[in-house]
Each structure stands twice: as C-alpha cells, then as structure tokens.
Structure 1
Amino acid sequence: MTTTALEGAVHFTNTSEAVRAWVHGWALSRGAVEPAALPWGFTVSLGLPGHVMSHVLPTADEATVRELTGGATGPGVWLKAFVPAESLASWIAPGWSLSGAPGFLMSIALDTNSARTPAPPPCLPRGYRLRTWTDSGVVHARVHAPDGTVAARGQTSVDGTTAVVDKIETHSAHRRRGLGRVIMHTLVDAAAERGATVGLLASTAEGRFLYEATGWHVVAPLANALRVPDPVG
C-alpha cells in the first residue's frame, strides 16, 4: 500500500491520516458502533438492508482489494477506497460493481475563535425555514419549504477535534436557491462551537463545486464498490 502526501488539505499530512479521522465521525453520524480496526483499515457494521457493513481502506492496492472482495460472499457489503474509480473497478473481484459516481474526500479548517464576529449566515428564500436539533451527539439541520416538506438537509458529528459533515442533500425542486449553503454554514458553525478544528466530508463530483466555493479542499478521490446479490437460478 502507498500513502499519498496531501496538497491543499488541512491538519493532515497524508490520505491515511485523514481517512482514519473521517471513518470514526462517519460511523458516529450513521449511528454505527465504533469502527473495527484491522491491518488494512476498518470495518463499520451498519446492519441495514443493502448496507450490512462497509470496509474502509485508508490506503488501497490491488492485492488487498482482491483479497477483501474475493472473501465477501453475501450482498450488502460495501468497500470504500480512496483511489480513482477506474483503479478500483479493475481490482474488485467478480460479484462486485462500482456504486454511484466517483466522489472525493474533502477537508476544511474551522474557525474556533470565540472572539470573532461570526459571518452572517446565508439568507433563506421567503417562506423557507431552518430547523436544527441534536440527537445522540449528531447535529441535524433541515430547511423546510413553504408547504412544510423538507427541501434540504444535512448532519454533522464531532469526534475529538474532527467534525464529519454527512448526508447533505437538496431536493431537486429546490436547488439553486442557496439552501445547501445555509445547511453547510449551520453545520460548520455548530461543529466549531463544539470544539472541532477541522471538518471532513465525502462529496459527490457535483457537490464538490459547492464545497470548494465555501473553502473546502479535496483530500483524495473516493470510489465505492458493492457486493451484489448472486444471480438467481
């Protein structure tokens, strides 16, 4: 395995260090038990239909990926590797396929200076309202549309000095109205208030542009693979 030095990232000297920080906060955000540390990385047990567990590789190479994917025979097992999607696609064993579009792990330094004057939050369009709450250490934010439906959402967990921003989503009918910026501003401020000094998130290629516009930096590519059900018959 190789460890890649980072350019433009904050608080981390290499990809492996950043991924190790991210996986603990991601498991907390998803309500999973503490990730199990293994020689090649971590296993996070979620126990959900279609997402039984995730193997997370802070670094990845062909031999490790082939061994892991070759030994997983049941569906609903995921593998998260911080390598280009084309590399992961060529390494996974039969019965596995890439899932979703290629993404990125991203980071940002958080301003924890309590003496600063907070930047004004982005304004919500008329009729929209923001709701926040904390549950089991995870801060949730929702923007509701004038008809009461959820227009945008997101959440963040804080593990030590690292905040993991997760599940950021804006409904297609409410995009291009600044709702994503409101959610991100709310979650980042909440994390800084709880002592986090660095934020991490897993982004889609589409979301990357929103995050880069607000100061986030790409740490590494992220590709996901899924063990699919065996053919019937």
Structure 2
Amino acid sequence: MSTHDHDTAGAVRTWIHGWTVSRGAAEPVPTPGGFSIDVGLPGHVVRHVLPAADEAAVRRITGGPAAPGTWLKAPAEPEQFASWLGPGWSLAGGAGFLMAAPPHTARTGPAPRIADGYRLDTWTRGGVARVLVRTADGAFAARGQAGLTGSAFVVDQVETDPAHQRRGLGRVMMRALADAAAAEGATEGVLVATPEGRALYETMGWQLLSPLTGAVRS
C-alpha cells in the first residue's frame, strides 16, 4: 500500500466516524472490507463505506441482496466504480472529492471578515459544531456543520443560498467551523467536496486525496 493509499484509507475512516456524529446516525459497524452505518432515512436506509477501491468488496455488496435505499461509497473513479456494480445499482450523489486539512492548515492566516449585511452565529452541541449565516433582517443565507471525532473535524452539509453566493460566505464559514473545532481540541479536518466546493477548499489549503464515489440500490 502506498503512502497516498494509507492517507486516503485513514481519511475515509475519519470521515465515516465524523459523518455519523454530524448526521446522528448509528455507530459504524466494521464489515469485511469496510463499514456499515444505519442511517434510517427514506431513500437512505443503510450506508456501506469502503476505505479503499476494493473491487471484490464492491461486487460482494452489490451482488448480494440489498434493500432499496442502500448506499455504497468508495474512493474510486466513477467509471471504474460503475463497472463493478451489480444489477439494480447505479451511481448517485454526484461527483465527490475526499479532502484533508493537515494540522492547523485550516486556520492559516487571519480570519476572513464577513461581508456587510450578514451576521454569523456559531455553536457546538452533541459533538457537532454549527455555523449559521443570516442577513441583517434574519433571512437564511448559508449554513454548515462539522462532526468532531478524536483530533479531527469532519465538515458536512455546507450550503449557501443561491441569492447569497459569491460573497465570501463559504470561506467565512469554513474558518468559523475550523475555529470552533479547534476550541474542542481538533487539529485537522476531513471533508467530501462537490466540484464547486473543491475549488474553494483548495485555495484554503485543503488537499485532494481521492475521488469518493457513491452508488445506490434502487
């Protein structure tokens, strides 16, 4: 296993545990080749996650019985991953990129200033740091959260209302989440980015480790 593969597998494991904290899902259960998580939502009943691009594990999971709404994610290229899927499975969730911020990288430099006309609130409860951006009159503008696990924080569900995009709110929220996580003892971060988010996070020092591709049983 290469150093990059080792880093990716470790980051996936961190992401799994932080994601379950963020979403309030069941504790990850080790399975052959990876983990299984009870999510318990319509269309997302259970999630399997593999720390490596393991063709045999993908074929075993997707070739056996699985209820509709069962998900599988692995650090594999979409075209490769799709070729391993069994009948009834298809790619889902859009392009994802596993990224990591080494210790202190996410907090390098002065904190960005929020744009005029917005206010930022941050709080931490139950192992989840949250940020909320509202306009001066209280309307929703953006939000994000991070699950805390060990010495890491896992950024999750970052979104900005289309009417408030391109105003630097994403950068402000990412720094606020990193600061809130640091206050709880976290020193490094992991996330799965969209293509748009990846571009922002790379400018903030986050490093791309691998694609992270998802599939669902219909």
Normalising TM by the smaller chain, what interval? Answer: over 0.9
Could you tell me the percent identity over the aligned residues?
A: 53
Structure 2 partner of 1:231: none
Could you give the per-residue CA deviations for residues 59-105 of structure 1, whole angstroms, max 9, x where no partner exists? 13322211101224311111011010111111111111111322111
- The aligned counterpart of 2:32 is 39
Q: Do the aligned partners of residues 197 and 72 (structure 1) sit closer, same or farther apart at CA in structure 2, a change above 3 Å counting? A: farther
Please list, as runs of the form range in 1=range in 2, the aligned pairs for 1:173-184 lying within 5 A after superposition.
173-184=163-174
Query: Does the CA-based 8 Å contact 1:96-1:225 persist in structure 2?
Result: yes
What amino acid maps onto 1:128 in structure 2?
Answer: Y
Instruction: Return the alpha-carbon distance in structure 1 between the equivalents of residues 210 and 80 of structure 2.
Output: 13
2:45 paired residue number: 52
Segments of structure 2 that go 5 or more residues without pairing to the other structure are none
Equivalent-residue separation in structure 1 for 2:28 and 2:77 (angstroms): 24
Amino acid at match of 1:90: S
Moved over 4 A (4+): none
- Does 1:154 find its partner at 2:154? no
Rate the CA distance shift 1:71–1:79 in 2: closer, same or farther, 3 A: same
The alignment's C-alpha RMSD in Å is: 1.9
Separation of aligned partners in 1, 2:151 and 2:81: 31
Match of 1:199 among 175, 178, 189: 189
Post-superposition Cα deviations, 1:101-132, rounded to whole Å, max 9, x if no partner, equal 221110012329xxx9x844222222211111
Which amino acid is the alignment partner of residue 84 of structure 2?
W
**Which residue matches 1:9?**
none
Aligned to 1:68: 61
Q: Give structure 1 stretches of 5+ with no counterpart.
A: 7-11, 229-233
Q: How many residues align?
A: 217
What is the deviation of 1:225?
A: 0.4
Alignment partner of 1:5 is 2:3? yes
Q: Which amino acid aligns with 2:53?
A: A
Conserved in 2, the CA contact under 8 Å of 1:157 and 1:164?
Answer: yes
Paired with 2:64 and 2:163, the residues of 1 have a C-alpha distance of 42
Identify, as 1 or 2, the structure richer in helix.
Answer: 2
Structure 2 distance, partners of 1:13, 1:189, is: 27
Q: Is the 8 A contact 1:152 1:171 kept in 2?
A: yes
> 1:101·1:205 contact (CA, 8 Å) conserved in 2?
no
Which residue of 2 is the match for residue 133 of structure 1? 123
